[in-house]
Amino acid sequence: MFSSVLIANRGEIACRIARTAKRLGMRTIAVYSDADAQALHVKLCDEAYRIGPPPATESYLLIERIIETALASKADCIHPGYGFLSEKPDFAEACVDAGIAFVGPPADAIRAMGLKDRAKALMEKAGVPVVPGYHGDQQEPKFLKRKAYEIGYPVLIKAVAGGGGKGMRRVERHADFDEALESAMREAGSAFGDSRVLIEKYVSAPRHVEIQVFGDSHGNVIHLNERDCSLQRRHQKVIEEAPAPGMSADLRDTMGMAAVAAAKAVGYVGAGTVEFIADGANGLRPDGFWFMEMNTRLQVEHPVTEMITGLDLVEWQFRVAAGEKLPKSQSEVAPRGHAVEARLYAEDPEHGFLPSTGKLLALDFGKGDGVRIDTGVEAGAEVSPYYDPMIAKVIVHAPAREAALARLAEALERTIVAGPKTNLTFLAALCRAPDFRAGDFDTGFIDRNLVQLGAVAQEPDRAAAARGAEVLLAREAARIARRHAGPPSPWDIADAFQVSGARDTTMPLLVDGKPAMAHVAYRPQGAVVLIDGVAAEPAAIAIETPGSVHVLRGGRQTVVALRDFESAEGAEADGDGAIRAPMHGKILALLVENGSKVTKGQRLAVIEAMKMEHALTAPHDGTVSELSVTAGSQIAEGAKIMAVTAPEEKKD
């Protein structure tokens, strides 16, 4: 076994690897960018080394810098985690060339499975079923469009070098193909440095079922059962579970053996995942699944496999990389109970799941029996715009699926996160969705049920806002009391005293940045605060900051502040048609120029933030003016990009 490991990653996976390495008696070595100098993974490891500025391209993706650090720290091995350099064959080779063990598969296996078109051709030769489509080298747009027509719509455009939903677009109509192809190629080039794509037939009721495989350097390959990752949005997994609902023992064996054949075809060593698309229209069937791709690394959702098998997959990775044989044979691995994982993100489901950044003012997870939390942050940490906005993975285990889903919902509802907006309420709603609990779902489930899941713009939480107003009122009263310290005077009482009538007043507020008015009625028992007739919720959790109060109720966050009429934010929107950046990001493309005539809903610009593209559209018909940015420039959240001036109405 190794005596030391350099973890070439950050966040929760770096913390996860460090825990197992420490248990095995290894010296743990962290690397960090300037944005992560105070990060949790840095604090958990025995040693830590700076490797560059915040952008990953200047730090975590620098192979030479990582190797230099590993040599300087005398690391026996490098564990890449997932993402960043984990599936870069050049990195695996660089480790070996430097005399450092790479905790992952051989570079040749990474190359073989890294390009989706080549991987599919290889799988066809190995007898593994493959989705119909075009996987060739021809990349001329007109040719690809013709192939899509021949395959038959709907189709999927997928990045050849992709993963994690980057560079992937579903196309329903022939007329939409050109725009989708251009967007997919641009995103693929940005994410992977390779803009090539392939075209696949889209399965009408797809289930995403993947098999965890493990191989050693002695020729042994087994599978550790399946995971269902069908609950997705924009091809990004949201909730994963194991075993897959509706999976029979025979189908598990058939799919598992196909995955083992795929791994053996490339001489695979270490942890990997073979991903299949299954037709769930009439239940999972042995003749209804096809190979999609192989991820040549540990997966984000590996904890659900650990929960149902009782194994530590990171320990297995270390042992296999050290030359040991697999600890168990195929017959010794069987699922026990049910596990579900939810990805807790700093994002805003009510506004298109836009990433949300900022300081974590409070963070407390809903722990309990059968609950596991994998996180790379703590209270006071910053969710930065440079990396994936994951806060934690909440994983639960129970004897049966129904109990596991109930346990996960309860854990999510007990979790407290203040600062950035999160998907907590959305995740809990997913766990309690009747059709999902009944096993009636596919990869389109979330998109079909956004309204029922609360992932659309909601009315303000008036009960939470009123609770925030109560806290602000008490704070103002305390401030006045401190200012007038000394002998009491009836004129110092901040209770809306008046000579006759009810002692009522109003309190101007900003609720989630929008103007609101609280009605405050002073009664013998104290002040009663109402917003639009709704009283405060006493059980809501209020977290104070110098300028506001963050109120948490049912996982949803409401930010309440006193309204300052002298500030710009204290005024009503002026309706000037300003197009502002919804988050910190990079302007990928400008689709208009000053003077352009646009129509409502027309795409104006594309922003890239946290590895995803977001289109900005015209709020109404009009003319573009005040364009103040260029393609490639960085833009701050809320910054004005341009304006769309509505045409003046004709007068009689």
Neighbouring-strand partners of residue 312:
none
From the list 628, 16, 644, the residue with the least C-alpha distance to 317 is 16
**Rounded CA gap, 114 and 464, in Å?**
48
> Could you say which of 111, 196, 252, 297 is catalytic?
297
From the list 333, 274, 325, the residue with the least C-alpha distance to 306 is 333
**Rounded CA gap, 229 and 241, in Å?**
7
Q: Which two tokens stand for residue 416?
A: 């407290």
Helix (H) or strand (E) holding 188: helix 177-192
**587 φ, ψ to 5°?**
-75, 110
63-72 and 89-97 helices cross at what angle (nearest 10)?
A: 30
**Rounded CA gap, 95 and 78, in Å?**
8
Q: Are 618 and 599 within 8 A, CB to CB? A: yes
107-114 and 89-97 helices cross at what angle (nearest 10)?
A: 170
Residue type, 49: Y
Q: Are 169 and 184 within 8 A, CB to CB? A: yes
**Rounded CA gap, 512 and 505, in Å?**
22
Other beta carbons within 10 angstroms of residue 578's beta carbon come to: 14
169-171 vs 155-159, strand pairing mode: antiparallel
**Contacts of residue 367, Cβ cutoff 8 Å, sequence gap at least 6:** 373, 411
Q: Which two tokens stand for residue 504?
A: 């009522």
Q: Is the peptide bond before 154 cis (omega within 30 degrees of 0)?
A: yes
**Rounded CA gap, 301 and 374, in Å?**
11
From the list 428, 405, 414, 420, the residue with the least C-alpha distance to 365 is 414
**Rounded CA gap, 522 and 322, in Å?**
72
**Rounded CA gap, 343 and 356, in Å?**
15
Count helices and strands in the chain by DSSP H and E runs: 16, 38
Catalytic residue flag (residue 297): yes
**Rounded CA gap, 392 and 397, in Å?**
16
121 alpha carbon, distance to own chain's centre: 31
From the list 497, 475, 526, the residue with the least C-alpha distance to 489 is 497
- Say how many residues make up the chain: 652
Q: Is the peptide bond before 55 cis (omega within 30 degrees of 0)?
A: no
Please compute, for residue 210, the number of CA atoms within 13 A of its CA located in the half-sphere on the CB side.
27
DSSP letter, residue 324: P
Looking at the annotation, which residues are catalytic? 297
